Amino acid sequence: MEYFEIVDFLNSVDMSCLNFEDFRILGNATSLSNYTGEQLEFYRGPLLYALIRFLKPKQILEFGTGGGYSTLCMAKSLSDNNIDGKIYTIDRVGNDEKITRFYKLPNNKSIQKNKISNREIWELIAKKTWIEKIIPIRGYSGVVMEKLSMKNIDFCYIDGVHTYDGAKHDFFSFLKISSKKFSIVFDDYIERDFYGVKEFIDSEVAPHFNLKLIQSDPENNLKQFVTTTNAYGMVYLKYDSEEPAINNYDKSYVDSFLKSYRTADLMIRSKRYELEKCLPFLKNIKFKFWR
């Protein structure tokens, strides 16, 4: 796996002069930590903006909307660069669902903590032309991808469930509907408690594809969570072949895994989320079988 510092990677896609101030405004409003109010992953915004500008994808699939920082940065890039594209973004939390979060709007003197929805925040900080590029889809990815009818997706951002099987499901689900030529960005390639993205990439993605690891945390804000001294960041995969990428894997293996994971999403994990909304203390209980 090739390794890049964030600045060097931005230079490689002709974005060395990117002004970060717009991204700080978006990040403060949409991606402060739910626990501390810190801004921990600011550079993923400029990175995704740069890749959308460079690759010019027409159909983008995002697993894990969160507060919408990544979504808005990609939509901004589509709009700024006159790219006729759409972003399908999946999250278990609906875009109109009010949740308690930290945020700082441009006219706020300090960080706020209130119940507010993505839509309410987006309408205060994003241009209408950006929001029109975004198609929010509510639900667990296993439930959504079982029903969703899409094809020829040419860019995917995987930042949903951070377990080994969660990353695996989203990756295989994308490969089944991807264009023959596509790009993927995995967030959170990091050795951290309850995370399995790095292990999945090392075990099942790296043997089949050329990958780039981008150090997207130059200020070391995530060091407090890292369990080893290994390099971490975001992983970029660009695929360009007439052979479908899914053919790198045994079809029966992929289909069997997807069926099992999606059944658990439907019957267990999505049910837990509905229970958590009624009984919030359940969020702090780690049941491995329905994380």
**pLDDT tens for residues 131-187?**
999 999 999 999 999 998 899 999 999 999 999 999 999 999 999 999 999 999 999
Q: Mind listing the pLDDT tens digit for each residue in 215-245?
A: 999 999 898 888 888 899 999 999 999 999 9
The CA distance from 258 to 269, in Å, is 15
Helix, strand, coil % (nearest 5) of the chain?
A: 40, 20, 35
Q: How many CB atoms lie within 10 A of CB 225?
A: 14
Helix, strand, or coil (residue 137) = strand
Question: In sequence order, what E strands does 144-203 have?
Answer: 153-158, 178-189
Indicate whether 268 pLDDT > 70.
yes
| Domains and their CATH numbers in the chain | 2-17+40-97+132-290 (3.40.50.150)
User: Which pLDDT value is given to residue 288?
Assistant: 45
Indicate whether 77 pLDDT > 70.
yes
The CA distance from 14 to 54, in Å, is 8
Indicate whether 38 pLDDT > 80.
yes
Instruction: Look up tokens 């960080």; give the residue.
Output: 111
Q: Mind listing the pLDDT tens digit for each residue in 197-219?
A: 999 999 999 999 999 999 999 99
Closest Cα partner for 19 from 57, 51, 50? 50
In percent, how much of the chain has pLDDT > 90?
79
Record the pTM.
Answer: 0.93
| Arithmetic mean of pLDDT, 78-105 | 96
Instruction: Look up tokens 């810190």; give the residue.
Output: 38
Tell me what the pLDDT averaged over the chain comes to: 92
| Arithmetic mean of pLDDT, 104-129 | 96
